[in-house]
Structure 1
Amino acid sequence: MAERSELTLPDGVRLHVEAYGPADAPLTVVLAHGWCQDRRTWRHQVAALRVLGARRPRVIIFDARGHGRSSATGVGGATLSQLGHDLDAVLRHYAPTGPVVLGGHSLGGMAIMEYAAACPGPFAERVAGLLFVSTTAEGHAHTQYGLPARIAALLRAGETIGAGVLARGGPWRPHRALLPALRPAVRWLLFGDECDEAALELAMRSFGRAPLRSIGAFRPSIGAQQRLETLAALADVPAAVLVGERDRLTPPACAESIAGALPFAELKVLPGAGHMLPMERPHEVSAALTAIVERATPARRPRRPRRASGTLKKAA
């Protein structure tokens, strides 16, 4: 069962947090979701980690500010930099000691990079493994939406202008009424050749819960992020980098540059898959996460043999 709680951040934003697994686990896994999604993105991976027995980690999932059950954020707080500081707050409160594995999907992966840039000391001391899924370290440099370059550039310009308008829309969610009409476009943008209806439904519900401010205000910092140098400083951290072959938002070139900056990273391009890998290809993502967790989990000390009861007699 999930242990649910709220973490109040210094600016008053409240994060909805769920914890699974033993509090005294040898390792903690913290998973961060993508833009306009929520913690439920990781439900298959949380379930997969439960079967590790004595080596089962503590797992923390949370809704980013302005997403899911977390409270709204102001425009000034809707930045990748702030998400990095929010992740630091989650770690300090819910996993103050011991090694951690960080996993991020899309926006969540970018937040991990921001945490590494803002808190290099704690990151180097604590982080024992990384999972980057369908994310980028270079903003929108490689984003073409699966379209010709000229059309993609026009679409990106329109998206940037529209994001500024949406950012001023505050906490309203008028798009919820349009979800049925938006369903084909969301399916095309987020998923690959095959799409489980339950996964699409969850993605649509999460998108419907995101207020206009969250949809629009994060866009400028997402497009401008450049963190390859930050990743290069993490060269000795075991990592897995996964991307879908048909990802229209963070295409394989994004994952290739991340893996190139991390010499110990394993890159996997999943044929026919789109952007929502944790739900679209749950077994592959879970396997990659489990492998990182098993590699990062400290070996338990062998138990000392019990001393036999009674008095030991000396040999004659």
Structure 2
Amino acid sequence: MPGTERRSAERIVTRDGTGLHVCESGPPSAPVTVLLAHGWTLDERCWAPVADALAVGSGGAAGSPPARVIRYDHRAHGRSDDTPDADKTLDRLADDMAEVIEQLVPSGPLVIAGHSMGGMTTMTLAQRHPELVRSRVSGVALVATASGGLGAAATLGMSGLPATMFLTGKDRLTTSALWTDRRSLTARPALLRAGLQPLLLGRHPDPLAVRTTCAAIAGCRPTTISGFTPTLTEHERDEALATFDGRPVEIMVGSRDRLTPPRFARRIRDRLPRAGLTVFPDAGHMLPVERVGGVAARIAALVRHAVVAPAA
């Protein structure tokens, strides 16, 4: 219906003064709000295709109503403010997520979907703000993410001599002015395609998925890459998953995901045996742009469930 959907961009400010860029779509009076959290080095644009589907109720799940959809840039990502390296942690991102909920979704059923680092942020929210999760969250989607065991993240999956050489070169680079003084990796996203496509995307990816991925990472601050690496490699939150018990959870992974392969999804499922688990054949790490329909359908099913059985 005309006038029932809106698209807007706004900015909120956290308690420590960091401004976060927020996008909202869908009917303001929708019965359920979906909060979408993106991954490391990415931004809210990577959730845009899924957000569009959810906002009009075309997520693919029969009877799923349109949702109010909020997506935002993590601190030091996209159009949000940068932050000191000391604040480039999952703990801080989880506190930011809690503030986004407090300021923009103070009431009503809430579904959270986190991709990669966004999924880890959601787990950290459960660890640091368990009562908020228990009282407000009606469903969770964990997309191409992990609950721990990411020590190899610092070497992008490499081991042995290649990993040693990579880390040596990385340490030299990330302390140089060439790294610390740059506002973005490059103004030419196409230059990243040869390296990023095989690392992050699966077989025969849609050209738009490739362009979106490369554009987001090209615009990333170099210090965001190095600053968040320690918190990702230290991430161990198997125990926090228990906070999600008793509410619907959908776990998704691509069969060709090189950063968080299917074994990480199965590790989460071992802790949440009632959760749904979907392995998308031939897909890589960038499921929100590679498998838009499948990801939207599973989040839409959580929306539909939230209408019937909101969080207690």
Q: TM bucket by the smaller chain?
A: 0.7 to 0.9
Query: What's the offset of the Cα at 1:40?
Result: 1.1
The counterpart of 2:233, out of the listed 214, 223, 227, is: 223
Query: What's the offset of the Cα at 1:222?
Result: 0.5
Within 1, Cα distance between the matches of 2:302 and 2:292?
15
The counterpart of 2:128, out of the listed 104, 110, 118, is: 118
The counterpart of 1:292, out of the listed 302, 308, 312, is: 302
The counterpart of 1:6, out of the listed 1, 4, 11, is: 11
5+ long unaligned stretches in structure 2: 1-5, 58-62
Indicate conservation of the 8 Å contact 1:247/1:274, yes or no.
yes
Cα deviation digits, residues 281-306 of structure 1 (max 9, x gap): 11111111111111122479xxxxxx
Indicate conservation of the 8 Å contact 1:199/1:280, yes or no.
yes
1:41 match: 46
Cα deviation digits, residues 55-76 of structure 1 (max 9, x gap): 3221111111111111111111
Indicate conservation of the 8 Å contact 1:237/1:264, yes or no.
no
* Cα distance change, pair 150–2 in 1 and its aligned pair in 2 (3 A): same
Pairing 1:262–2:272 present: yes
Indicate conservation of the 8 Å contact 1:163/1:216, yes or no.
no
Pairing 1:23–2:23 present: no
Query: What's the offset of the Cα at 1:11?
Result: 1.9
Report the secondary structure of 1:55's partner residue.
coil
Query: What's the offset of the Cα at 1:127?
Result: 0.7
1:244 match: 254
Q: Which amino acid aligns with 2:40?
A: W
Report the secondary structure of 1:243's partner residue.
strand
Q: Size of the alignment, in residue pairs?
A: 299
Q: For structure 1, which segment, 50-59 or 284-293, has the greater mean C-alpha deviation from structure 2 after superposition?
A: 50-59
Q: TM-score, normalised by structure 2?
A: 0.88
Within 2, Cα distance between the matches of 1:19 and 1:80?
23
5+ long unaligned stretches in structure 1: 301-316
Indicate conservation of the 8 Å contact 2:73/2:79, yes or no.
yes
Q: For structure 1, which segment, 105-114 or 21-30, has the greater mean C-alpha deviation from structure 2 after superposition?
A: 21-30
Larger radius of gyration: 1
Within 1, Cα distance between the matches of 2:305 and 2:284?
27
Report the secondary structure of 1:2's partner residue.
strand
Within 2, Cα distance between the matches of 1:248 and 1:167?
30
Q: Which has the higher contact order (CA 8 A, sep 6+)?
A: 2
Cα deviation digits, residues 3-48 of structure 1 (max 9, x gap): 2110011222110111112223221110000111111111121121
2:185 match: 175
* Cα distance change, pair 71–29 in 1 and its aligned pair in 2 (3 A): same
Cα deviation digits, residues 163-191 of structure 1 (max 9, x gap): 85379944623630564433200111110
1:314 match: none
Indicate conservation of the 8 Å contact 2:78/2:220, yes or no.
yes
Q: Which amino acid aligns with 1:3?
A: S
Within 2, Cα distance between the matches of 1:85 and 1:174?
25
Query: What's the offset of the Cα at 1:158?
Result: 4.7
Query: What's the offset of the Cα at 1:233?
Result: 3.4
Q: Which amino acid aligns with 1:5?
A: E
Report the secondary structure of 2:139's partner residue.
strand
Cα deviation digits, residues 129-172 of structure 1 (max 9, x gap): 0001111110415768566x535754774587468537994462
* Cα distance change, pair 271–142 in 1 and its aligned pair in 2 (3 A): farther
Q: Which amino acid aligns with 1:250?
A: T
Structure 1 vs Structure 2: percent identity of aligned residues? 36
Within 2, Cα distance between the matches of 1:15 and 1:87?
10
Query: What's the offset of the Cα at 1:230?
Result: 0.5
How much is the aligned-residue C-alpha RMSD, in angstroms? 2.5
Within 1, Cα distance between the matches of 2:294 and 2:176?
35
